[in-house]
């Protein structure tokens, strides 16, 4: 028998356990934008501020970005073998640590190594959370809950350069990546305390 379709009101996002997950995912999307997109958009500017030439800065950034496809490939065997919220937290902490190393490094080899490791962690993180977000909301709420949260990340990406460039000009590259690391730690606490487990569980059980 056909099941009649029922439009789920947006208010369901804030009721019971859904409300906790909605709050968790809104905070997550705001914070993850700083860690993930901040590096890609600001790396050449940060390196130039450290005194490297524009050519050297772009070269270092390009070599660092080689980690993105490797991170995506690495995530394939990991996503179904490691609890997804655990993988998200581990990758976020990796991003924070590598970001600090990148922010304070001066030697070219260390800049590239830290940047490469950061981008590897970034795409493990990104692939894991894109899978995770589809599992934590029921079908009737999924597209709205994810879409609204993602719009918050886009709004953050608009504001981010203005804040980060001001910090860079006033306090230097180390402060930019220290601030990013602090926000990634807050993201980890958000997921650890409010996020449900999902790996190996049916959507109904989640």
Distance CA 184, CA 138 (A): 27
User: Which residue carries 């073998």 as its tokens?
Assistant: 81
Beta carbons within 8 Å of 43's beta carbon, 6+ residues apart? 57, 60, 61, 64, 102, 115
Q: pLDDT-derived band of residue 50, with 50, 70 and 90 as boundaries?
A: confident
**How do residues 32-42 score in pLDDT, each as one tens digit?**
999 898 888 88
| Segment 159-182, tens digit of pLDDT | 988 998 899 889 988 899 999 999
Q: Global pTM? A: 0.88
- Report CA torsion sign: 152, 162, 89, 65: positive
Q: Which residues contact 169 (CB under 8 A, 6 or more apart)?
A: 49
What pLDDT shows up at residue 77?
93
According to the model, what pLDDT value does residue 200 have?
Answer: 80
The string of DSSP letters for 102-161 reads HHH--SHHHHHHHHHHHHHHHHHHHHHHHHHHHHSS-HHHHHHHHHHHHHHHHHHHHHHH
- Residue-wise pLDDT tens digits, 119-162: 999 999 999 999 999 999 888 888 888 999 999 999 999 998 89
pLDDT greater at residue 185 or residue 5: 185
Domains of the chain: 39-194 (1.20.1250.20)
Is 108 a residue whose pLDDT tops 80?
Answer: yes
């Amino acid at each position: 028998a056909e099941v009649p379709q029922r439009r789920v009101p947006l208010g369901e996002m804030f009721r019971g356990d859904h409300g906790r997950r909605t709050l968790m995912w809104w905070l997550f999307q705001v914070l993850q934008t700083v860690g993930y997109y901040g590096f890609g958009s600001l790396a050449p500017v940060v390196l130039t501020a450290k005194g490297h030439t524009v050519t050297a800065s772009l070269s270092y950034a390009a070599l660092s970005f080689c980690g993105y496809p490797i991170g995506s490939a690495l995530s394939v065997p990991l996503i179904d073998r490691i609890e997804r919220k655990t993988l998200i937290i581990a990758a976020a902490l990796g991003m924070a640590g590598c970001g600090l190393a990148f922010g304070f490094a001066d030697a070219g080899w260390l800049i590239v190594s830290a940047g490469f490791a950061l981008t590897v962690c970034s795409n493990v993180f990104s692939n894991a959370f894109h899978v995770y977000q589809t599992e934590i909301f029921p079908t009737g709420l999924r597209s709205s809950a994810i879409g609204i949260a993602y719009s918050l990340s886009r709004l953050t990406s608009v504001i981010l350069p203005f804040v980060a460039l001001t910090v860079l000009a006033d306090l230097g590259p180390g402060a930019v990546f220290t601030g990013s690391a602090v926000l990634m730690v807050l993201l980890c606490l958000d997921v650890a305390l409010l996020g449900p487990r999902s790996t190996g569980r049916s959507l109904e059980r989640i």
